[in-house]
Structure 1
Amino acid sequence: MEIFILAFFTLGYLVLGGADIGVGMALPYLGRSVGERREVIAAIAPFFLGNEVWLVAAGGVLAGLFPQLEGELLHGNYALIVTLLVAWVVRDMGLWLRGRVPGARWQAFWDGAIVAGSWGLALCWGLLLTHVLLGMQGPVVVLGALVPAALFLTHGLTFAALRLRGTLRARAAVLTGGAGEARMYALTTAALVAVGLLAGLRLPLEAGTSGPLLVPVVLTLIPFLVASQAWVWWTFRHRVTGPSYL
């Protein structure tokens, strides 16, 4: 049961969080003016905080139920994990601060932070997944990391095509020819799930001794998390019609 709980939260983050990471990566391409970038960011504004809850939950499950695996991952990838966390903070700082002070330079700086943080997140996850999946070492691992990063980018573009309208939607739908966004989103979702599962199969998933205490608590909280996520998606199911609060 512990393995299924970890997989649930981890795969949920890859799919949900991967969408807003990909949109951030594609921000310069999708939004070519201040107004367009605000509208592109509005596509992920209602979701990105909720998506991050899945990563926090996955980290908590890893620490609570798989302490040995957590230690091995941190010890073997300490610099990479720290870089990932820095990229996460930079990306979120950009989202929160870009609209707090008027001025083109201020907004351009924090828009750059969003893009840099998003690419940093994608490449760090790509490096981690490549190392876990293929056991690659040295400079060649960077080439392998580009594949998961490209998958994040594709997933984000497809999500943006589902959320945006007009010219912005046409740019986002460059991979689907203006139609079939839902089918493409399902394909990129399946690809991310497959990558996550392949990585998980190579991990030493030996649960700790706290399972009998923590598993019932986590299982009780999962329905509330899923219900709140479903409510957010239902509330903001329509396409973006203008800038958001960010």
Structure 2
Amino acid sequence: MTLDVVWLGLLGLMIGGWFVLDGANLGLGAALRWTWRTPDDRRLALTALGPFLLGSEVWLVAGIGLLIGVFPALEKDLFNAYYPIVIVVIAAWMSRDAGVWLRSRRRASGWRARWDTVIVLASVALAFAWGLLLGNVVQGVPYGTRPGLGTLVSPYSLLWGVTVVAAFTWHGAVFTALRMPRDRQARAARTARRGTVPVLVSLLGVALATPLAGVPVDRWGAAAVVWSLMVGGTLAAGRWLRAERYAVTYACSAVVAAGLVVAVGIATAPRLLDGIADARTLELLAVVVLPVVPVLLAAQAWMWWTFRHRIGTRSAVFY
């Protein structure tokens, strides 16, 4: 295994980790008004993500740092080609965080209802934009050029957008069922059960659309294995949901969330590696970056262990 592949794997770890961790937060936000009818229930749902929000975003920040330092040519062309999508990602990310931070700053029902709407719309927009980005990366990064709007929002990339929204919303519902008090977990579990079929259909849709659209895939076999694991994880999650085994269900939905990134990375690895930095730069970065990765993993494990219990009406409120 070359050092180039290790760096690509680290980038996949960071972005995939964000898909698992903050993807659950986005899914919770996307279904906030649909799943929870009362302001108190919505407040409790946001309490469920409180300890994890900033820690989850660290993964995306680390991933962007890796992209800039290790893949400078890829970063340049990626941001140039998909500039409109990147702007949507940043705007939606900031809006989601603003909604979570500001919602409970006033007691007025109108104030909280408006911020609830912001959280929902921003969460959906952020998930959809990431789906568009992945779909466009699979179709090929146009080095040195900027594609037109028709390419950025092609039917294939739109299908990816819908798939990520469905996967995140479902994953977030499972996360909420895992975290909420027992007297409220049934509602979150019902949302998760309703989301299983859309996730399965969208995954199969992408699998069928990829060859039909003539999308260039460099490693069909490995990508197909990952996609099969995602479909299997979705089916297994449906079974564990019915058994009310929410921790196991969350593990299954996490496989689906991470698999979206892993599959894209495998399918496009040779093209992505065209944008990697020179060997000397990679050696210097390795001295700084590689020791930080175990620390990041340990901190995330500590956080989940510390806040592993269900929340209640007397749990600490972070936002």
User: TM > 0.5 between the two?
Assistant: yes
Q: Does the alignment pair 1:193 with 2:198?
A: no
Larger Rg belongs to:
2
In structure 2, what is the Cα distance between the partners aligned to 1:177 and 1:125? Answer: 30
Residue 144 (structure 1) shift:
3.4
In structure 2, what is the Cα distance between the partners aligned to 1:245 and 1:58? Answer: 25
Q: Which of 65, 75, 79 does residue 74 from structure 1 map onto? A: 79
The residue number in structure 1 matching 2:179 is 163
Residue 167 (structure 1) shift:
4.3
Seq. identity, %:
38
In structure 1, what is the Cα distance between the partners aligned to 2:69 and 2:265? Answer: 17
The residue number in structure 2 matching 1:204 is 272
The residue number in structure 2 matching 1:215 is 286
SS in 1 for 2:285: helix
In structure 2, what is the Cα distance between the partners aligned to 1:144 and 1:230? Answer: 30
Q: Does the alignment pair 1:245 with 2:310?
A: no
Unaligned runs of 5+ in 1: none
In structure 1, what is the Cα distance between the partners aligned to 2:290 and 2:105? Answer: 39
Question: Residue 31 of structure 1 contacts residue 168 of structure 1 at CA under 8 Å; is this kept in 2?
Answer: no
Runs of 4+ in 1 over 6 A off after TM superposition: none
Q: Which amino acid aligns with 1:204?
A: L
Q: TM-score, normalised by structure 2?
A: 0.73
Question: Residue 16 of structure 2 contacts residue 259 of structure 2 at CA under 8 Å; is this kept in 1?
Answer: no
Residue 223 (structure 1) shift:
1.9
In structure 2, what is the Cα distance between the partners aligned to 1:22 and 1:204? Answer: 28
In structure 2, what is the Cα distance between the partners aligned to 1:16 and 1:144? Answer: 19
Structure 1 residues 68-147: aligned runs within 5 Å: 68-134=73-139, 137=151, 138-140=153-155, 141-147=157-163
Q: Which of 220, 228, 232 does residue 303 from structure 2 map onto? A: 232
SS in 1 for 2:244: coil
User: Once the two structures are superposed, what CA deviation does each residue of 1:174-224 show, in whole Å capped at 9, x if it has no partner?
Assistant: 212361222322222112222111211214223202211112211111122
Question: Residue 51 of structure 2 contacts residue 318 of structure 2 at CA under 8 Å; is this kept in 1?
Answer: no
Residue 142 (structure 1) shift:
2.0
CA 170–178 in structure 1, closer or farther in 2 if over 3 Å, else same: farther
In structure 2, what is the Cα distance between the partners aligned to 1:194 and 1:49? Answer: 22
Question: Residue 134 of structure 2 contacts residue 160 of structure 2 at CA under 8 Å; is this kept in 1?
Answer: no
* Higher RCO structure, 1 or 2 (CA under 8 Å, sep 6+): 1
SS in 2 for 1:99: helix
SS in 1 for 2:49: coil
The residue number in structure 2 matching 1:183 is 248
Residue 226 (structure 1) shift:
1.4
Q: TM-score, normalised by structure 1?
A: 0.94
User: Once the two structures are superposed, what CA deviation does each residue of 1:30-64 show, in whole Å capped at 9, x if it has no partner?
Assistant: 22111100100011000010000000000000000
Question: Residue 13 of structure 1 contacts residue 51 of structure 1 at CA under 8 Å; is this kept in 2?
Answer: yes
RMSD of aligned alpha carbons: 1.7
